[in-house]
Amino acid sequence: MRADVFIDKTEGDHVEISVVKHGLSSGPAHKYNTFEKAREVLVQFGFDQEMIDRQLKTLSKAPPSFLLKFPTVEIAEEVLRSLDFKAAVFQAA
C-alpha cells in the first residue's frame, strides 16, 4: 500500500506514528514510549536508517506536537498488520 507516514512528539517525549493511505487525510496512529521503539517500526516500514535517525534527532529537539512527514512509501499490508496498523490495511481495500 502506498502510504504517507507522519511522526510527532507527544507530551512526555513519546513518539506517535501515523500511517495514512496515500491520498487520504487520516489514518491509524500508534504511540511509542521511546524513540528506539519508534525507530524499529520505521525501519520495518522500509525507510533508510540514516534518514530515520535524522528525523528522530530533529523530533527529539522539537516541542510536543511537532509533526514530521516521511516520503511516500510502499508498505506491505502484512507489515502493517504485524505492527497492528490494521485500520490502514482496511482502508486500502
* pLDDT per residue as tens digits for the range 9-68: 998 889 999 998 887 767 778 999 999 999 999 999 999 999 999 999 999 999 998 999
- Whether pLDDT at 1 is above 90: no
Q: How far is CA 30 from the centre of its chain?
A: 8
Residue 33 Rama label (left phi>0; alpha psi -120 to 50; beta): alpha
CB atoms within 10 A of CB 39: 19
* pTM score, whole prediction: 0.87
Q: How far is CA 88 from the centre of its chain?
A: 12
What are phi and psi for residue 81, nearest 5 degrees? -65, -45
Neighbours of 11 (CB within 10 A): 7
